[in-house]
Amino acid sequence: MDYKYTSIDDTSKTRQGHWCSSWRREIVSAILIAILSSAATFGIASLLSDRGVQSQPVSCGKTFEEAHAHGCRFDALTLTWLRPECSQHGNEEFLDAAGNETWRYWEKSTNGLVELGHYESLAYLAPGSLYLATYDQYLTHCMWILLRVHHALEYGQRLDFQSISYEHSKDCLGLLLKEAKRGVGENLTQLSTHAVANEIDYGVC
């Protein structure tokens, strides 16, 4: 019977060779994982960037002159001056929901209520000016402003601070829930009791 002998030195070299190969594989694997992780991170960051994640807000300023210089438009849905970069989704639908008429607004005075007219008449009021609107207007506003938020998140658009406000969404959803529970009926023509929270402003998104 033939025997094949392997010296201890040869065995050690063989084991050392296997260990080196295993070590190299682990290094290569670690490098590949690092590369793939970096690529995934870069891809996610690029995706978020493409979907409109913005770090620096853009403003319409504090005056009509500044808003005009920035190319801002007065948004009927939020009654806020907005930059062209800001989402104005739902604006036309909100106006169309008024039917054959236009949404009307009022303000309180010492002599009672004074009608201001349609939304464009509010564009030149000072920031912080309070106004009144009907429940119909307010409910429709809530519907379309919430849809604007969803649309902006889906398509990566900028949102003004009023539209993205958690408290504003909470108030709108609370009102919609309350009215859905009791039914609105004749309340549609009543003036909104939430008017104290409504202010003309120059938006930032």
pLDDT for 192: 62
Same domain, 92 and 146: yes
Q: Are residues 46 and 74 in the same domain?
A: no
Same domain, 133 and 170: yes
Domains: count for the chain: 2
Residue 56 lies in a domain: no
Residues 13 and 109 in one domain: no
> Residue 199, SS3?
strand
Which residue ranges of the chain lie beneath pLDDT 50? 1-8, 11-15, 18-19, 28-30, 32-48, 51-53, 194-197
Tell me, yes or no, whether 195 and 99 share the same domain: yes
130 and 177 inside one domain: yes
- How does strand 105-109 pair with strand 73-75? unpaired
With CA atoms as reference, report the closest residue to 97 among 131, 132, 141: 141
15/91 same-domain check: no
Residues 120 and 46 in one domain: no
Asked, for residue 59, whether it belongs to a domain, the answer is no
Domain check: are 150 and 192 in the same one?
A: yes
Concatenated DSSP letters of 58-104: -B--SSHHHHHHTT-EEETTTTEEE-TTB--TTHHHHHHTTTTS---
Tell me the residue range of the domain where 30 lies.
1-50
Report pLDDT for 161: 87
Three-state DSSP class for 191? strand
Residue 121 is predicted with a pLDDT of 87
Question: Is position 12 within any domain?
Answer: yes
Same domain, residue pair 19 and 77: no
For the segment 101-110, what is each residue's pLDDT rounded down to a tens digit?
Answer: 889 999 888 8
Q: Strand 201-202 to strand 80-82: parallel, antiparallel, or no bridges (unpaired)?
A: parallel
One domain for residues 87 and 149: yes
Per-residue pLDDT at 36 = 42
Q: What is the pLDDT at residue 82?
A: 94
